[in-house]
Chains A and B, each alone.
Chain A
Amino acid sequence: DAGVTQSPTHLIKTRGQQVTLRCSPKSGHDTVSWYQQALGQGPQFIFQYYEEEERQRGNFPDRFSGHQFPNYSSELNVNALLLGDSALYLCASSFPGTGGVVRELFFGEGSRLTVL
């Protein structure tokens, strides 16, 4: 049973460039959430996708966008990269839950982005 897989594992970009990160959820999960984790900090919620739509969004600018495909996989796009976007980007999958409640998130190993 494959867990959550993310690609690429590491990448280096320069300021102003654009990046796309990819995530395949755990088998049987249809909900994907993205988190940003700066060095020494806890993860911060970017957004969640369910049924190919963004269902909830954290406090991130519009430069951060995403997409979910019919097979439940997801992409995170970041435009006009800033130095401060350097972080570990984590994808997590789950069942959608009821009443907004999330029971457990399954995380991938993350994509480490360095912006120079």
Chain B
Amino acid sequence: SQQGEEDPQALSIQEGENATMNCSYKTSINNLQWYRQNSGRGLVHLILIRSNEREKHSGRLRVTLDTSKKSSSLLITASRAADTASYFCAGNAGGTSYGKLTFGQGTILTVHP
């Protein structure tokens, strides 16, 4: 079963608007990562936030993490049509979990030109 749950499942916006996606997870994590996937192709790593961090920025991306609520959010500012994709959060528990990432079900983002 999936550990993470993304909200919303689908998001449709106009170019230039901001897109916010939320993720909740169930077990303790060492870090939480966000990935992007274009139309059933491979996933691309976007950003990683450690459990002792609360906010992180990378270009137009801003990620927050609230470990007390077991939740994270991804904000894409000034969206572009090229941002249209599925976005997944994935938790890494560390320890004996080694390379296992537990993915959520994803948010499908559509950005209209």
A45 touches B100 (CB 8 A): yes
Which of B44, B95, B99, B100 has the largest count of A CB atoms less than 10 A from its CB? Answer: B99
C-alpha gap A99/B43 in the complex (Å): 24
B interface residue numbers (CB < 8 A to A): 2, 4, 30-31, 33, 35, 40-45, 48, 88, 90, 92-106
Min distance, Cβ A68 to any Cβ of chain B, angstroms: 12
Interface size for A (C-beta < 8 A) is 34
How many A-B residue pairs have C-beta atoms within 8 angstroms? Tell me. Answer: 90
C-alpha gap A8/B79 in the complex (Å): 34
C-alpha gap A41/B3 in the complex (Å): 12
B48 touches A103 (CB 8 A): yes
Which A residue sits closest to B45, measured CB to CB?
Answer: A104
Point out the residues of chain B lying under 8 angstroms from A31, CB to CB: 99
Whether A15 is near chain B, meaning CB under 8 Å from some CB there, is: no
* Contact among A94, A107, A108, A110 with B99 in the assembled complex (CB-CB below 8 Å): A94
Which A residue sits closest to B103, measured CB to CB?
Answer: A42
B99 touches A102 (CB 8 A): yes
Point out the residues of chain B lying under 8 angstroms from A41, CB to CB: 2, 105-106
* Contact among A42, A55, A92, A100 with B2 in the assembled complex (CB-CB below 8 Å): A42
B100 touches A44 (CB 8 A): no
Which A residue sits closest to B88, measured CB to CB?
Answer: A42
Q: A102-B92, A103-B31, A104-B33 are in contact. Are A45 and B101 (CB under 8 A)?
A: yes
Min distance, Cβ B44 to any Cβ of chain A, angstroms: 7
C-alpha gap A90/B45 in the complex (Å): 14
List 8 A-B pairs, Cβ < 8 Å. A33-B100, A43-B101, A48-B99, A100-B93, A101-B92, A102-B98, A109-B41, A110-B42
Which A residue sits closest to B97, measured CB to CB?
Answer: A100
Point out the residues of chain A lying under 8 angstroms from B106, CB to CB: 41-42
